[in-house]
Chain A
Amino acid sequence: MAQIDLDLAHAYRPNPQSDADYALLPLKMRFRDGGAYALLGPSGCGKTTMLNLISGLVTPSHGAIRFDGEDVTVLSPQQRNIAQVFQFPVIYDTMTVAENLAFPLRNRNVSPTQIKRRVGQIAEMLEISHQLNQRGAGLTADAKQKISLGRGLVREDVSAVLFDEPLTVIDPHLKWQLRRKLKQIHRELKLTLIYVTHDQVEALTFAEEVVVMTRGRAVQTGSAEALFERPQHTFVGHFIGSPGMNFLPATYRDGKIQIGDYLVAHGLDISADLLAQAEAFTLGIRPEYVELSAEGALGSIPIFITRVQDVGNYWMLTGAVSTGSDMKSFTVRARLNAESCVPKANEVVWFKLVGAHTRFYKNEELIA
Chain B
Amino acid sequence: MRLILEKIEKRVGSEQQLYPLSMNIQPNTVNILLGATLAGKTSLMRLMAGLESPSSGKILVDGVDVTGQSVRKRNVAMVYQQFINYPSMSVFDNIASPLKLRGEKNIDAQVRALASRLHIDAFLTRLPAELSGGQQQRVALARALAKRAPLILLDEPLVNLDYKLREELRDELSSIFANSESTVIYATTEPGEALLLGGHTAVMDAGQLLQYGSTAEVYHRPASLNVARAFSDPPINLFSGNMIGSGAIVQLTDALEIPLSQALPNTGRVTIGLRANAFRVNPRPGDLALPGEVELAEISGSDTFLHANTVIGNVVVQLTGVHFFDIGATLELYVQPDHAYIFDAQGALLLSPRYAVISTGSGV
Question: Could you tell me which A residues sit within 8 Å of B by CB distance?
Answer: 42-44, 176, 179-180, 183-184, 187, 198-201, 204-205, 224-225, 227-229, 238-244, 286-288, 306-314, 316, 335, 337-339, 342, 344-345
Contact = CB atoms under 8 A, between A and B. Distances in A.
Given A310-B216, A310-B362, A313-B276, A242 B302 contact: yes
21 contacts: A42-B162, A42-B165, A43-B132, A43-B162, A176-B298, A180-B307, A199-B163, A200-B301, A204-B299, A205-B298, A224-B324, A228-B301, A228-B321, A242-B163, A242-B167, A242-B302, A243-B171, A243-B302, A309-B196, A310-B363, A335-B320
Given A243-B167, A312-B219, A176 B302 contact: no
A231 to B, nearest CB: 10
Interface string B325-364: 0010000000000000000000000000001100100111
Contact of A200 (B163, B191, B192): B163
Interface residues of B, number: 41
A311 B195 contact: yes
B246 interface: no
Contact of A180 (B191, B196, B277, B327): B327
Contacts of A199: 163
Nearest to B190: A172
A314 B322 contact: no
Given A228-B322, A309-B363, A198 B162 contact: yes
Interface in B144-201: 162-165, 167, 171, 191-192, 195-196, 198
B162 A288 contact: no
**Chain A binding surface SS class:** mixed
B300 A183 contact: no
B196 A176 contact: no
B66 to A, nearest CB: 34
B362 A308 contact: yes
B295 interface: yes
Interface of B: 132, 162-165, 167, 171, 191-192, 195-196, 198, 215-216, 219-220, 275-277, 295-302, 305, 307, 318, 320-322, 324, 327, 355-356, 359, 362-364
Given A200-B163, A228-B322, A309 B302 contact: no
Given A179-B296, A183-B327, A309-B362, A224 B355 contact: no
Contact of B301 (A44, A242, A342): A242
B362 A179 contact: no
Contacts of B355: 338-339
Contacts of B364: 306-307, 345
Nearest to B171: A243
B301 A204 contact: yes
A224 B296 contact: no
Contacts of B277: 313-314, 338
A280 to B, nearest CB: 25
